[in-house]
Amino acid sequence: MSKQHYDDILRFCKFAFKYNQAMRNFLLISFFAIICSLTNAQNQAPSASQVETTFDPDSRTFIFNYNLTDTEGDTCYVVLQQKIGTDAFYNVDQATGDVGSGIIPGNNKSITYNVPTSVDLHDIKLRIFVYDRHTPSIQEMVDQVDIDKLKSYLDSIVGRRHYKSNPNHLIYVANYVNRFMIQNGLSIGHQFFKYNNIDFPNLIGRHEGLNNQNLCLINGHYDSAEFSPGADDNGTGLAGVLEACRIMHNYYFKNNLQFTSFGNEELGLIGSIDYVLNGIQPNQNIKGLINYELLGYYSDQPNTQIIPPGFELLFPAQATQIINNQNRGDFIVNTGNSTSVPLLNMWNAASAQYVPDLKVMAFPLPGNGEIAPILRRSDHVPFWDKGYQALMITDGAETRNHNYHTANDKIETLNFEFMTKVVKAGIATLATLAEPINASVQDIDLYNVLKTKYIQRPESIFIYPNPVDEVFSFTYRGISSENTIRIEIINTSGQVVNNYPLDKNPDGSYQIKTTHLPSGTYILQIIEGKYISNGRFLITGK
Ligand SMILES: [Zn+2]
């Protein structure tokens, strides 16, 4: 690895680490607007609207007046949810009034919430989550899978993604996935791990629902083998995760959806091992992981599928089925260990119901699959070994795809019709696991209620160049050298996409990197104690 490359990676990692720290230390808010109006749904989601907030600072009491509407007039569940810092939204149990189950639609509803003194009001975000007894259609989600989107993701992803042979493209893809997650309204929670003394990210975006301690994960690693463009391995898996994210973030679920792309899988499951050891919080409950590991290689020609040695004995029924089908590589493999049988069966059932023309071959393994090492080579294994339910979904790697880990693992070799069906089955399974609910969310604008805490400084921040390409500069001379300064970058949906303390520069000049942000208009806010200043900038050309 050249010195230049090493510096590039380090610079990325420093930036990324800072970004991650910022996410941890401060608020990251996703204003989950229901941008996709679910007009085809049989039942409209109820909603809380016209929220008027008052706050009494002495008693630390919020009162929210709202109107509850539901087209069908169903009684509703109303939940007040609170997010502290970069944590997820959790249900506030202490709220009183028109909150809980059996709330009848109508005007002038009211919720009272007395904020515990342990909560810093700067760190708090609140939202009203409303749902009824109906369930959105999983078929409707499945039907939205778009073959052209899958192709376009692969166009961006494919190319060597390895820290030695092509760190630039590895960084490019990590940034691409990060931007994609932000654009689809996810809460970013990247987790960093060290490999050869370099920090790498596990890319994590969460779609928050009703019970955010319950995680339903879907993963496709973003790195490739050293000298392979990695179209099938694992561009297809990552593309499947992105498509699930694009479609599913428009719905709400009882559980939290976590879209994940682990790093450095090819170097020995480095990212996923670190995630299982260090990335799962004590209050989190892993409902299951769907791990995509090559989804796009297919052939309906005879003798295109090898049965791995020993599989005739381990899986006689499956081996016979393949032989009777003249060894055609025309099915997707669904593998789980003994703990994961419920999830394995869930995939089979969801696939049969929603994507009946996808041929699935299931391989339930005893124990943790030690008996079949060829099925223990991807990011599901650390989950198996820790007792969590996890599946590997694969086209069979080198038992079918002779381009596996070579320079020939290219887009032209993929079968997108097959891959589309697999991605549909994955969405059906993940939705079944996460349990869709007919819900809507109303974010509460606390800034307008609490803003007396901040004093707007009259001069705006001069940002240059503007429009911004990759980096912008600005000058900020603080009120006092004693104060700490932090910046917030907010997009036009009100989502805080970056939020971290500035390392102070004595001459007051600063540079901010924006390669991780999608194109669009942003507001830069600089917060110094109770003073706030802002400027506006545009990012073009991504
Ligand atoms: Zn792989």
Dihedrals phi, psi of 481, to nearest 5 degrees: -65, -15
Average pLDDT on 332-343 reads 98
Average pLDDT on 150-161 reads 98
Q: Is the pLDDT of residue 341 over 60?
A: yes
Chain region(s) in the chain for CATH 2.60.40.10: 47-134+438-448
Chain region(s) in the chain for CATH 2.60.40.3080: 455-539
Q: Distance, CA 375 to ligand 1 centroid (Å)?
A: 12
Q: What is the pLDDT of residue 538?
A: 92
Give percent above pLDDT 90 in the chain: 70
Q: What is the pLDDT of residue 398?
A: 95
Q: Is the pLDDT of residue 490 over 70?
A: yes
What tens digit of pLDDT does each residue of 164-192 get? Answer: 999 999 999 999 999 999 999 998 889 99
Q: Distance, CA 319 to ligand 1 centroid (Å)?
A: 24
Q: Distance, CA 293 to ligand 1 centroid (Å)?
A: 6
Confidence of residue 18 (pLDDT cuts 50, 70, 90): very low
Q: What is the pLDDT of residue 37?
A: 41
Q: Distance, CA 222 to ligand 1 centroid (Å)?
A: 9
Q: Distance, CA 425 to ligand 1 centroid (Å)?
A: 20
Q: Distance, CA 224 to ligand 1 centroid (Å)?
A: 7
> Hey, what CATH topology would domain 455-539 get?
Immunoglobulin-like (2.60.40)
What tens digit of pLDDT does each residue of 21-50 get? Answer: 444 443 333 333 333 344 444 689 999 999
pTM of the full structure: 0.83
Q: Distance, CA 220 to ligand 1 centroid (Å)?
A: 8
Q: Distance, CA 89 to ligand 1 centroid (Å)?
A: 33
What tens digit of pLDDT does each residue of 210-242 get? Answer: 999 999 999 999 999 999 999 999 999 999 999
| Domain over 47-134+438-448 is classified CATH 2.60.120.10 | no
Reduced 3-state DSSP string for 172-188: HHHHHHHHHHHHCCCEE
Residue 359 to residue 264: CA distance in whole angstroms: 30
Give percent above pLDDT 70 in the chain: 90
Instruction: Let me know: does 401 contact 314? Beta carbons within 8 Å.
Output: no
Q: Is the pLDDT of residue 472 over 50?
A: yes
Confidence of residue 494 (pLDDT cuts 50, 70, 90): confident
Q: What is the pLDDT of residue 453?
A: 59
Q: Distance, CA 263 to ligand 1 centroid (Å)?
A: 10
Q: What is the chain's mean pLDDT, rounded? A: 89
Chain region(s) in the chain for CATH 3.40.630.10: 152-297+331-394+411-437
Q: Is the pLDDT of residue 13 over 90?
A: no
**For residue 207, what are the β-bridge partners?**
257
Residue 142 to residue 157: CA distance in whole angstroms: 23
Q: Distance, CA 234 to ligand 1 centroid (Å)?
A: 5
Q: What is the pLDDT of residue 452?
A: 53
Average pLDDT on 72-89 reads 91
The better pLDDT of the pair 296, 529 is held by 296
Q: What is the pLDDT of residue 530?
A: 75
What tens digit of pLDDT does each residue of 120-145 get? Answer: 776 788 999 999 999 999 999 999 99
Superfamily of domain 152-297+331-394+411-437, CATH level 4: Zn peptidases (3.40.630.10)
The better pLDDT of the pair 313, 507 is held by 313
Q: Distance, CA 291 to ligand 1 centroid (Å)?
A: 10
Residue 140 to residue 345: CA distance in whole angstroms: 22
Q: Distance, CA 335 to ligand 1 centroid (Å)?
A: 15
Q: Distance, CA 269 to ligand 1 centroid (Å)?
A: 9
Q: What is the pLDDT of residue 232?
A: 98
Max CA-CA distance within the chain?
A: 79
Which residues are within 5 Å of ligand 1 (an ion), measured at CB? 233-234
Q: Distance, CA 420 to ligand 1 centroid (Å)?
A: 19
Q: Distance, CA 138 to ligand 1 centroid (Å)?
A: 29
Q: What is the pLDDT of residue 147?
A: 98
The better pLDDT of the pair 79, 490 is held by 79
Q: Distance, CA 415 to ligand 1 centroid (Å)?
A: 18
Parallel, antiparallel or unpaired: strands 76-84 and 89-91: antiparallel
Q: Distance, CA 191 to ligand 1 centroid (Å)?
A: 20
